[in-house]
Amino acid sequence: MALNDFLPSRPEGVRMRIIKKINDAVAGLEGALLLTIILLMVFGAFLQVILRFFDKGILWGDIFLRHLVLWVGFIGASLATRDGKHINVDVFARYLKKPLKNYVMAFIDLFSATVSWYLLQAAITFVLEEKEYNSIVFNDIPSWYFQIIIPIGFGLILIRFIISALTRIVDARRPEGTAA
């Protein structure tokens, strides 16, 4: 597989179109999951408030909601990375012309992917250790069930940075005036 497989000589590159379609499908699933979790969090928090009004409550409710925040954070970070809305500092890129700007941004994306790779490795180690030590969150539910989103999130972010870098390189190599 050569870089030319991703270039416009193959009307935008068959592989690149497939990658974008898969990326869009994953984003759709993430969006649906994010909406579901947020609704569950709102309902759960509301239920906790109502039950506490009657001196009741779900013992594990607050812990459950805190762990859902972790899921919302990582799914949201993945979607933000996909849309280029993540935290970035584009001090140099804003002053560069298109081809060079795309290469610089691709380099930054690849650097970010490298950082994400190391964070993914650390997250996998963390979750495996949690599983090995049989940490329990509540009601005999292992903590790693909730923490599995950490390596999944970093993995998705890693993939999104790689896709962004490839897209930027393809755009930089595209002749001026040709459509994307």
The mean-pLDDT minimum among 4-13, 142-151, 166-175 falls in: 4-13
Position 83 scores a pLDDT of 85
Residue-wise pLDDT tens digits, 99-147: 788 888 899 999 999 999 999 999 999 999 999 999 888 888 999 999 9
Q: Between 58 and 34, whose confidence is greater? A: 34
Helices (H), the chain: 14-53, 61-82, 98-132, 144-147, 149-173
Position 178 scores a pLDDT of 58
Which residues share a beta bridge with 136?
142
How does residue 1 score in pLDDT terms, banded at 50, 70 and 90? low
Q: Is pLDDT above 70 for 97?
A: yes
Position 65 scores a pLDDT of 93
Q: Is pLDDT above 60 for 8?
A: no
Instruction: Give percent of the chain with pLDDT exceeding 90.
Output: 54
The CA radius of gyration of the chain, in Å to the nearest whole number, is: 21
**Dihedral pair phi/psi, residue 114, rounded to 5°:** -65, -45
Position 172 scores a pLDDT of 79
Q: Mean pLDDT throughout 81-98? A: 77
Q: Is pLDDT above 60 for 52?
A: yes
Q: Which two tokens stand for residue 173?
A: 């190599």
Position 18 scores a pLDDT of 87
Residue-wise pLDDT tens digits, 21-45: 998 999 999 999 999 999 999 999 9
SS3 136: strand
Q: Model-level pTM?
A: 0.82
DSSP tag of 142: E
